[in-house]
Amino acid sequence: MITSIELGDFLSHSNTKLEFQNGVTVFVGDNGAGKSSIIDAITFSLFGQHTRKSNKGLIKRGSNQGFAKISFSINDKQYEAVRKIDNKGTLSAKFSEITNDGKIEIAAGERKQFGESMTREVEKIIGLDFEKLKIASIVQQGELNAIINAKPKEFKELLNAIIGIDKLDVASESMKTVNKEFREKIKEKVGFDDTHLEILARDLEKHENDIQQAKPEKINLESKQEKLKIEVEELRRKIETDSPKIDKINQLEQRKKEIINYAKEAIQDIQRQISENERKIHDCEGCFEHTIQKSDLESKIEKVEQAIEDTLKKIQEMTSQTASLKEKQLLASKLQLKNNKCPVCDSNVEKLNPLFQEEHLKEEMIHLQEEVISKEKEKVMYNQKRKEFSEKLQHSRDAEATLRAHSINNKEELMKIQEDVKIKKQNIQNIPSMGASLIEISQIDSHAKIIFENITRLELETRGFDEQEFSNLKKTVNEKQVNLSQIDQQIGAILEKIAKGEQQVKLIQSAISELKIVKEYVGNLNEIQSNVFSRDGPVATSLRSWALNTISAKASEYLTLLNTKIQRISLSEKTRDVSITCYSKNEVLDLESLSGGEKVSVALALRLGMASLLGASNLNLMILDEPTTHLDAERKKSLVGVLSQLSNISNSESPMQFLIITHDEEIFEDSTVEKIYKFESSEEGSKVIAI
């Protein structure tokens, strides 16, 4: 049981401490006085859970932090749980066992990542978690009245919620989600789910029909293909046989052109030879007469050049003599006899040496000049001769070079060329013209005859060959080849269609095989959902039947402790509702015939039975929050009478602690309830007084 609750700056409480004992404790006070805060204090200190919007909303206005502490006993052991919170939202918590030697810490905080959780340790000690404690030990406003006043169908829903059958709806939805996700995974893997089996069956039938229809078409096309291949092969053999004749016809035309061209070239070659030989004859005409004079001319030129050289030397000597005479003349002009005396030695002389006589020297110089002029004329004459001889010599050399260029060594060879020209001119007259027949042209020479023989052979080999017919044959082969290619494409398309169809058949058959298993599995899931998780399924019905029997038995036990004429309660389920039947010793009591106090007793017994069904916590605690809400004065009075008898339950073999929260203070004025706390609002917050 809870032994004490302490609040510090928690909700509307600045500093509140409440002491508890076994039996019934009543909290009275106006709405907003802080009565229901005790419930939040209990759940927050134990589990860190509450009914407020946020943890910060638990701190009293104007305060920086708040806390809730609860002390309770279980199996003769004392425990203390305290949780604190500051305005930053920081939480701290500690759970301890109280011994004679002090406090032994069991857990602190909620560091679940390190395996530390105060809430988990509290749950182990109490035996329930927050959600189960709410259902088993806390009767919220209106729930007790709902049990009293609910229609059968509503009572069934309430019962479902209290005993947890409504959780089957959550499980059912989860099953739907599982089913949906499973289908999505199957669809992601296979491409379909079990809902597509009929569609796949139709697709399978369609693909199988397509394959069956395509096979005869394939056989028909293959038959056409084989027949066409034979035709093409026969035509190709004929083409291969006749193809060489095309080459021979081309060769025939080439040979005809060749012989004509050869005739033209032969005539041109003979004409070229005649022209070339005539040019040789023309070039070499008179050359032998010039070459005969070469040696004589070379000798004459040599003599003339020697005469020119001698003349030049003579002119040079006379020029030197003239210069010497001029020097002597200059000296003679200075040597004059005066008084028949020598101008040098002053001796008597009759006359000067002629070499020193100016007149004599002039005469000598004139004579020399005349001789120089004579020699110059000789030189000119010799140069003319040399030029004449050189020109003749050059003609002789040119003639020699011309003969050498034409490879003519003597007059006999030149005469032979002249005779050859005469013969070729006669032969060219005998060559047939270009308009002559090929056989006439073939008479030109042996090579022309060989070409003509080839022409005759090719004409014989191609006789009867129709080139146009051969061209039409090739055209026919090409057309049939195109048809064959088209048939190949059609067969390829059908084979691809069959292959794809067979692949699709294989895939669809595999998918259908797998989806049949999926369908069976989904069917099992749906069956589980219908039978196990449906609130009206056999599992829920069986669970509800068992729960109703258990609640009926336990409620009947509590009714015997509440001192009513009702000895037994029976809950039974019908199609869509749950009926409540009350029994006295000798008769069945209709619920509507019961007094207000009896109805409250039934409702409370049922609620205690439900709590027992869930497994009441080790605290053996029951909190009734505003149980008088919506009750008239008579029923409120009846409720007080029932609540006054709760001490009987508290003193039973399994004693329970009851906390009753109500704003109807006056209804407990004449009651036997001894422990009553009055809650009042003040400027400092909630104020609690024991009355």
DSSP states of 406-469 as a string?
TT--SHHHHHHHHHHHHHHHHHHHHSPPTTS-HHHHTTS-HHHHHHHHHHHHHHHHTTT--HHH
Q: Which of 586, 584, 588, 596 is nearest to 560 (CA)?
A: 584
Q: In the prediction, which pLDDT does 264 show?
A: 83
Could you give the CA distance from residue 334 to residue 330 in angstroms, rounded to a whole number?
Answer: 7
Q: Which of 76, 77, 40, 79 is nearest to 57 (CA)?
A: 40
Q: Which of 676, 672, 662, 668 is nearest to 624 (CA)?
A: 662
In this prediction the pTM is 0.48
Q: In the prediction, which pLDDT does 373 show?
A: 92
3-state secondary structure labels for all residues of 524-548: HHHHHHHHHHCCCCHHHHHHHHHHH
* Structure-derived torsion over alpha carbons of residues 319, 321, 326, 331, reported in degrees to the nearest 10: 160
Token pair for 238: 């004929």
Could you give the CA distance from residue 70 to residue 4 in angstroms, rounded to a whole number?
Answer: 6
Q: Measuring CA to CA, how many Å separate 499 from each of 17, 202, 203, 496?
A: 86, 19, 15, 5
3-state helix, strand, coil in the chain (%, to 5): 65, 15, 20
Residue type, 199: I
Residue 304: other Cβ atoms inside 10 A: 20
* Whether the Cβ atoms of residue 630 and residue 146 lie closer than 8 Å to each other: no
**Is the torsion defined by CA of 631, 633, 638, 644 positive or negative?**
positive
What residues contact residue 215 under an 8 Å CB cut-off, 6+ apart? Answer: 498
Residue type, 150: A
Residue type, 154: E
The continuous run of DSSP H or E covering 57 comes out as: none
* Whether the Cβ atoms of residue 69 and residue 45 lie closer than 8 Å to each other: yes
Please identify every stretch of the chain with a pLDDT value under 70, giving residue numbers as ranges: 112-115, 142-150, 152, 154-155, 158-159, 161-164, 166, 334-357, 430-436, 562-563, 575-576, 614-617, 630-632, 635, 638-639, 643-655, 670, 672
Could you give the CA distance from residue 688 to residue 38 in angstroms, rounded to a whole number?
Answer: 11
For the stretch 212-218, contacts whose Cβ atoms lie closer than 8 Å and that sit 24 or more positions apart, written own/partner, are 214/494, 214/497, 214/498, 214/501, 215/498, 217/494, 218/491, 218/494, 218/495, 218/498
**Is the torsion defined by CA of 476, 477, 478, 479 positive or negative?**
positive
Which residue in the block uniquely carries the two structure tokens 């309770």?
Answer: 72
Q: In the prediction, which pLDDT does 225 show?
A: 93
Q: In the prediction, which pLDDT does 307 show?
A: 92
Residue 655: other Cβ atoms inside 10 A: 13
Residue 341, φ and ψ in degrees, nearest 5: -115, 145
Could you give the CA distance from residue 147 to residue 599 in angstroms, rounded to a whole number?
Answer: 9
Q: In the prediction, which pLDDT does 353 show?
A: 57
Give the CATH number of domain 1-127+623-634+653-691; options: 3.20.20.80, 3.40.50.620, 3.60.15.10, 3.40.50.300: 3.40.50.300
* Whether the Cβ atoms of residue 159 and residue 578 lie closer than 8 Å to each other: yes
Which residue in the block uniquely carries the two structure tokens 């809650």?
Answer: 679
505: helix, strand or coil: helix
Paired residues of 581 in beta bridges: 570
Q: In the prediction, which pLDDT does 497 show?
A: 93
Could you give the CA distance from residue 452 to residue 442 in angstroms, rounded to a whole number?
Answer: 6
Structural domain boundaries of the chain? 1-127+623-634+653-691
Q: In the prediction, which pLDDT does 379 show?
A: 92
Paired residues of 444 in beta bridges: none
Token pair for 14: 């600045």
Token pair for 477: 């082969």
